[in-house]
Amino acid sequence: MLKIITIPNPILRQKAKKIADVMDPKIQKLIPQMTEIMLKEGVGLAAPQVGESIRLIIVKYKDGSVAMINPRILKKSILKEWGEEGCLSVPGKYGEVKRSKKLTIRYTDEKGKAKTLNAQGMLARIIQHETDHLDGVLFIDKARKIVELNPNE
């Protein structure tokens, strides 16, 4: 079973490696495992959060999820908005992060097909948060008004 790693684990600060072979059995096994954790715990998950420094994210999408391999944001809207974010790898902390309202992303799906997706609102925010993980960036690096919840309260 995969385990969520938390700060200050150095993997969270590394630039993740591009996935060369989407059909690699290790990748094909990792996708459903990450999906299960993401659906249980949150709305998005990046491979570095489970200790794998590779360019793979899973995001909640419609009634399920979508795996994005080697995702690349092609375009972001100039219009941005502040929104509250938290992160499984930064437990107990929340803050406001300014993100583009819309974006266009290109990625490879788990079957090896190239896909392009236009996202807006919460989906666009989740994708930006998760792709930041692939570059070693955490939401706390961009957040204002960071609040720490006391687990004993």
What structural domains does the chain harbor?
10-148 (3.90.45.10)
| C-beta neighbour count of 142 within 10 angstroms | 16
| C-beta neighbour count of 7 within 10 angstroms | 14
Per-residue confidence at 63, pLDDT binned at 50, 70, 90? confident
CA 83, CA 97: separation in Å to the nearest integer? 6
- What pLDDT does 139 receive? 98
For the segment 33-38, the average pLDDT, to the nearest whole number, is 96
CA 23, CA 51: separation in Å to the nearest integer? 20
* Catalytic sites, residue numbers: 130
- Tell me if 79 sits within 8 A of 103, measured CB to CB: no
pLDDT > 70? residue 151: no
For the segment 43-48, the average pLDDT, to the nearest whole number, is 97
Per-residue confidence at 153, pLDDT binned at 50, 70, 90? low
The pLDDT mean for the chain works out to: 95
Cross-strand pairs, 95: 85
The whole-model pTM stands at: 0.95
pLDDT > 60? residue 101: yes
pLDDT > 60? residue 29: yes
pLDDT tens readout for residues 114-133: 999 999 999 999 999 999 99
